[in-house]
Structure 1
Amino acid sequence: MQLVVARIGRAHGIKGEVTVEVRTDEPELRLGPGTVLATDPASAGPLTIATGRVHSGRLLLRFEGVHDRTGAEALRNTLLIADVDPEELPEGEDEYYDHQLIDLDVVTEDGEPVGRITEISHLPTQDLFVVERPDGTEVFVPFVEEIVTEIDLEEQRAVIDPPPGLIDDRAEVASSRDADGTGDAAETGDDA
């Protein structure tokens, strides 16, 4: 199985280093020196990591055969793809690889279907499930213990306890605010 583990950013310096947007929870395993990665677009690779280091909180990589800024800039926005054994599991008990979560059905604790996970978005502060609803719209569910209460890989589902407004239709939320008088500025006494 192939997984995107990073995206190459801009060149750093003049010796062929690039900044990297990490898209894996295990950069030391997936992005270490000597690792050979496929690329998207495929014309850029495969690339072999020569060196890696952290500078000002960002991972910098240099690839074999890329020795100057021009070569590094040519790789900008290239996705780095690792081959991962689909049976491989993370070390932590409550940790999951993205490929284990993609396509899980999402249901509320009451069993109400919400949709299907189509993508995991890795943000600096937390991860989000991108959930496609049956009507084709998307909802973003923070992957935090308070909201995602259970991941059941055998049943292929994620159980959530969403706070009000997270998965409700906007029209439903707006109408409930209007019904209690908090949705209309004229009723709150605002004259501006």
Structure 2
Amino acid sequence: MQLVVARIGRAHGIKGEVTVEVRTDEPELRLGPGAVLATEPAGTGPLTIETGRVHSGRLLLRFEGVRDRTAAEALRNTLLIAEVDPEELPEDPEEFYDHQLMDLDVVLADGTEIGRITEITHLPSQDLFIVERPDGSEVMIPFVEEIVAEIDLEEQRAVITPPPGLIDESEAVVASTRDEDAAEGDAAGDGKRGDE
């Protein structure tokens, strides 16, 4: 089974290093020197990690054959994909691989159905479940202990205890208005992406 373990960001320096957005809880295992990773787009790889180091809280990698800033910049936004045994589980029983969580039913403690996990977004501060509701709308659920009370892989469900407003319809309207305002700001040149 293939798992996305990182996304390549901008070039760092002039000797071929790149920043990476880590998408695995085991970077030392998946992103260590010598690791050979498939890529998306596929034509970019496979890539073999030559060196890795942490600089100002970010992981920097250098790949074999990538020796200058131009070559490193050409890799920007490439996804790094590791081959993982589908039976393999994280060492910590409180951790899960994305493929284990995809398509889980999301329910409240009383059994009320909220929807189904269709995507997992990895942010620097926390992970988010993107949950598709029965009406086709989406809601974002932070994957934090205070909200996600239980992951039951046997029953294929995630039990949540959301704070008021997290999954209310009125909150969804406010969020979509904010998105529209942000889009208008971006179109006018006011917005600035916090990405690479």
TM-score normalised according to structure 2 size? 0.85
Runs of 4+ aligned residues of structure 1 deviating over 2 Å after TM superposition are 171-174
- For structure 1, which runs of at least 5 residues remain unmatched after alignment? 175-192
- For structure 2, which runs of at least 5 residues remain unmatched after alignment? 175-196
Q: 1:137 to 1:70 in 2, by over 3 A?
A: same
Matched, 1:59 2:67: no
- 1:184: which partner in 2? none
- 2:141: which partner in 1? 141
More moved, 42-51 vs 126-135: 126-135
Query: What's the C-alpha RMSD, in Å, of the aligned pairs?
Result: 1.6
Give 2:92's aligned amino acid: G
- 1:165: which partner in 2? 165
TM-score normalised according to structure 1 size? 0.86
| Structure whose CA Rg is larger | 1
Give 1:12's aligned amino acid: H
Asked if the contact 2:16–2:72 (Cα under 8 Å) also holds between the matched residues in 1, the reply is: yes
- 1:50: which partner in 2? 50
- 1:34: which partner in 2? 34
- 2:182: which partner in 1? none
For these two proteins, the number of residue pairs brought into alignment is 174
Correspondence list, 1:17-166, <5 A: 17-166=17-166
1:48-88 CA deviation, whole Å, 9 max, x = no partner? 00000011111110001111111111111111111111111
- 2:186: which partner in 1? none
User: 1-side partners of 2:173 and 2:62: how far apart?
Assistant: 50
Structure 1 vs Structure 2: percent identity of aligned residues?
82
More moved, 39-48 vs 127-136: 127-136
Deviation at 1:165, TM superposition (A): 1.2
* Equivalent position SS for 2:53: strand
